[in-house]
Chain A
Amino acid sequence: MTSVMEATKSLLVFSHRQAAQVFLESLKTEGVGFLNGFLYESPQAYILISGEHPLQVASRIGLCLGFLNKKVKEVLHLGLAMGLSLEKGGEGTITEARTVYGASGLLFWHKSFTLSEKGYDIITSGHRVKKKEEIEHFARIAPLLDRESYSLCMVCEETHTPLRIFKYIVSRESEHACQEVKSLYQEISLKLYHFWLYYSIEEKPQEICQPPGDVYFTTSMAKQYEEYYTILKERDNLTQEEIWKKAGLEEIQRQKLSPKQKGKKLLNRLFELAYPEEYAYRQRFVQNIQSLVDAGWTVDLDNSLRQDALYISARIKDSREKERLLEALRDYHEI
C-alpha cells in the first residue's frame, strides 16, 4: 500500500532443481542477469532455485529480491516437507504452511511466522533430522519438517514481501526416504506444477481497500488507515464508497497537495469519523488554548502515534501564560 509498485509476477521458490524441473521446461524460462544458474524468468513467473541449507536459502532469496527490486508481487514456495506426526493419509498431498518455527540443532528459536490461517505448522531445522529421538523432539512443535521455510520467512518479513508456502508431504516412515524422494522427483514436480496451474493458489481476499493512486501513505499511515477503515466498516457498516464520500476524498484529491499531504488529510478525516469523541476531546483542548494559539503558540496534536502526544512550542512571556497552559493541560487530562 505504501507505493504503487511495478510488482508484476510471483517468484516461485524451489529448494531443488528437480522439484522445479517441470516448471523450467513448461514455462519457457530464461536465466536472469548474473543470477543465471539459479534465477529464471518466464512470462508467467520468476523461478528461484534456493538450495536447502537455511543460510544458502536466505542469501539467495535476499539477493534475488534485491536484484528484482520490487518486481515481485509475492513469493510462493513450492517444496517438500517431512511428515513427523501426521495422521495417516497426509503423505503425498500438498498443503499450505500455517505457522513456521525454526531450530538450530535441538534448540528452538522463539520467533515464529504465521503465514496463513489454515494448513499445517512446519518447523525448519538447520540440520538433517534422521534420529528417532530428534524426530520426536521436533514433532512436539510441528507436524512437518523442512530446511528452508524459516529463512524465506525471515527475508520476506524484512523486505515486506508477501509469502505463502506450499508443501508436498513425504513420509518419514520409509527408511530410504531420501532415495525414494529422488526417484519420485519427476512425479512430485509435475504434481506441484499442476497444483500451481490448475488448483492454483486462491488469492487471499483483500479486506482493506487500497487508497487511490494519488494518495500516498507511509507504512505507519497505512496501518492507521487500516484501523480506521476497519472500525468504520465493522461498527458503522459503511461500504468503501460511503467511507470515502464521508471522508471527502474527492475534495481532498482536488486540492493542490502532495500525495503524502493528501494522505495525511484523508487520515485526519477518517480519524474524526472513527473516533468522534476523541476528536471532539482534542478539539476542546485546542479551543481551551486558543488564546495561546492566537498569541503565536504552536500546538500540534499528533494522531500518527497511538499515544497521548502533544507537540507544543512556545515562548512563555509571563506566569499568566504559563498558568493558562498548565490549566489547559490539566483540563485535557482530567475532563
Chain B
Amino acid sequence: MKFSRILVEKAILNENATQKILAKLSSCPYEVVNSYLDYFEKVRKPYLHKRTNLYLYLAQKKGELVKEAPNAYGTRGESHFYYYNALNCIYECEYCYLQGYFSSPDIVLFLNHEEILAAIEERATQQPGRIWFHGGEFSDSLALAHLSGELLLFAEFFSKRPRLQWELRTKSANIRPLLSIDPTPNIHVSFSISPPSLARLLEHKAAPVELRLRAARRLIEKNFSVAFHCDPIVAQPHVEEEYRALAKSIAEQIPIEAIRYISLGALRFPQGVYDEVRHNYPKSFLFHQYMIPSQDKKMRYRKYLRRQLLQKVQNAFLSSGFLPEQLYFCMEDDME
C-alpha cells in the first residue's frame, strides 16, 4: 500500500498512535494540517484517482461517532450500530457503495479510539439487550488494522461487556493483528465472500477468496466467532453452480457448525452510487441485468429476480449442509 501524501491533524501529531503509524510509513513524508476537513471532500476527487493518488489522513472524529444501522442490516430482533474508526478503503470493488458515499476516495483513520469507545458505551447504556457494533461500514475493518492499531483496545473493551457484540467486516486476510487477542464469544469476524471467479472480476486488490477462507479457518481454530456475507449477489447465468461450489469449498475447509451466520443480499445501490459506479465501470458486468428504483429508492433487480437469486444461493448453502438458521437476508426487507 503506497500513499502519495499523508496529512496529519496538528492536535494528534504527538499521540502514540500517530507516531507509530508515521514510523511504519516513514517512506512517505507527512504534512501537518489543522483539520482533515480542510481538505477531505473539499473538492470532488474522482474515485479512480485512488489508483495513483491516494492520500491518508490521520485525524480525530468529532460529532457523531456511532450511528444506528438501517433496518434489516444485521440479524433480526437486535439493535445494530456502526462506529466511525475509518473512512474509505484501500480495495477497489466495482460494486462498492463508498464510491458514491464520499466525494473522495482518500483514507481517513480516526485515532481518538477512547472517545469512540466512550460513545459506544454511552449508546449501550441507552439500549437494553444484545447490541451489535459494526466496524466495517465505511471502511474495511481489517485491511489497515496493522496500521491503525486499535484492535487490542477494542477487544479489551468488548471482552468485558458480553452484552455488546462487536463485528469486524473484511475482505482482507490480514488477521495477524487479531491473533494476539484472546477471543470472547462476543467478538465476531465476518468475511465478505463471492464465488472466486466473480471476486477476481469485481474485487480488485482485495484478498483472493481462498485466502479469506484460510484466514477464517485460522480464526476458528483460535476460537473466534466467524461469519460470512454473500453480499452482493450479482445476477449472472451460473449463479447457482457458482455458489454451490463456494458453499462446498467453505464446508470442506471450515466446520459448518462453527460458522455463526451467513448473510445473503442481492446487488443494490443508492441512486447516486449507481450513477457513480456506471461512470467508473461502464463495461462492468454488474449492469448486464436491468435494475430499477425500488420502494426504498435503491436501485435493485426486479423483485422476482431478487427472489430467484436469493433462493438459488440459499439452496446452494442448504444443499451443502448449512442450516436454515445460519442464513439470513441482509437489507432485503421485502423478501421475508
Q: Does any Cβ of A come within 8 Å of B49's Cβ?
A: yes
> Which residues of A sit under 8 angstroms from B53, Cβ to Cβ?
121
**B interface residues, how many (CB within 8 angstroms):** 28
> Which residues of A sit under 8 angstroms from B292, Cβ to Cβ?
306-308
B285 touches A140 (CB 8 A): no
Q: Does any Cβ of A come within 8 Å of B43's Cβ?
A: yes
Q: Does any Cβ of B come within 8 Å of A151's Cβ?
A: no
A111 touches B44 (CB 8 A): yes
A110 touches B43 (CB 8 A): yes
A277 touches B31 (CB 8 A): no
A141 touches B43 (CB 8 A): yes
Q: Does any Cβ of A come within 8 Å of B272's Cβ?
A: no
Q: Mark B281-309, 1 if CB is under 8 A from A, else 0.
A: 01101011111110000000011110000
Q: Does any Cβ of B come within 8 Å of A231's Cβ?
A: yes
A121-B53, A281-B302, A334-B304 are contacts. A108–B42 as well, Cβ < 8 Å?
yes
> Which residues of A sit under 8 angstroms from B33, Cβ to Cβ?
140
Q: Point out the residue from A101, A110, A308, A335 that lies within 8 Å of B304, measured CB to CB.
A: A335
B267-283 residues with Cβ-Cβ distance < 8 A to A are 282-283
A333 to B293 alpha-carbon distance, docked (Å): 12
Q: Does any Cβ of B come within 8 Å of A136's Cβ?
A: yes
Q: Point out the residue from A140, A281, A308 that lies within 8 Å of B39, measured CB to CB.
A: A140
Q: Mark A224-257, 1 if CB is under 8 A from B, else 0.
A: 0001001100110000000000000000000000
A275 to B291 alpha-carbon distance, docked (Å): 10
A132 to B45 alpha-carbon distance, docked (Å): 24
Min Cβ gap A137→B in Å is 9
A275-B290, A277-B289, A277-B305 are contacts. A112–B283 as well, Cβ < 8 Å?
no
> Which residues of B sit under 8 angstroms from A111, Cβ to Cβ?
44
B42 touches A308 (CB 8 A): no
Nearest residue, chain A, Cβ from B44: A112
> Which residues of A sit under 8 angstroms from B45, Cβ to Cβ?
99, 112
Min Cβ gap A135→B in Å is 12
> Which residues of B sit under 8 angstroms from A102, Cβ to Cβ?
43
A231 touches B288 (CB 8 A): yes
Nearest residue, chain A, Cβ from B33: A140
B43 touches A231 (CB 8 A): no
A308 to B287 alpha-carbon distance, docked (Å): 17
Q: Point out the residue from B49, B103, B283 that lies within 8 Å of A230, measured CB to CB.
A: B283
Q: Mark A131-146, 1 if CB is under 8 A from B, else 0.
A: 0000010001100000
> Which residues of B sit under 8 angstroms from A335, Cβ to Cβ?
302-304
A275-B290, A277-B290, A307-B292 are contacts. A334–B43 as well, Cβ < 8 Å?
no
Q: Does any Cβ of B come within 8 Å of A278's Cβ?
A: yes
A108-B42, A121-B53 are contacts. A308–B293 as well, Cβ < 8 Å?
yes
- Using a CB–CB cutoff of 8 Å, the interface residues on chain B facing chain A are 5, 7, 31, 33, 39, 41-46, 49, 53, 103, 282-283, 285, 287-293, 302-305
A–B Cβ pairs within 8 angstroms, 30 of them: A99-B49, A101-B43, A102-B43, A110-B43, A112-B44, A112-B46, A114-B46, A121-B49, A121-B53, A136-B31, A140-B31, A140-B33, A140-B39, A141-B42, A141-B43, A227-B287, A230-B283, A231-B288, A234-B283, A275-B290, A277-B290, A277-B305, A278-B302, A306-B291, A307-B293, A308-B292, A308-B293, A333-B303, A334-B303, A335-B304
5 A-B pairs closest in CB distance = A278-B290, A275-B290, A108-B42, A112-B44, A335-B304
